[in-house]
Amino acid sequence: MMPDQKYDLDVAIIGAAGTAGMAAYREASKTAARVALIDGGPLGTTCARVGCMRRRNC
């Protein structure tokens, strides 16, 4: 359990650390907003972290 903490944020992106969440983070950061990405897993998409797998229907 994490201790109670307070954060002064303008934008919190919750559960979206993939492509859409990272894009939202970049756009919000351009405005000098204080932004947090909150996700239970690793940040970034699978392709960005470990490389894409080839698919038949690309």
Structural domain contains residue 26: yes
Structural domain contains residue 6: no
Structural domain contains residue 20: yes
Per-10-residue mean pLDDT, the chain, length 58: 79 79 87 86 67 60
Question: What pLDDT shows up at residue 56?
Answer: 56
Structural domain contains residue 44: yes
Structural domain contains residue 57: no
**Lookup: tokens for 47:** 């392709």
**Lookup: tokens for 57:** 């229907």
Question: What pLDDT shows up at residue 30?
Answer: 92
Structural domain contains residue 4: no
Question: What pLDDT shows up at residue 23?
Answer: 85
With a threshold of 0.85, does the pTM exceed it?
A: no
Distances (CA, A) of 53 to 4, 27, 57: 41, 28, 12
The residues that bridge with 37 in the sheet, in sequence order, are 13
Number of domains comprising the chain: 1
Q: What is the largest CA-CA distance in the chain?
A: 48
Range of the domain at 32: 11-50
Structural domain contains residue 55: no
Question: What pLDDT shows up at residue 10?
Answer: 92
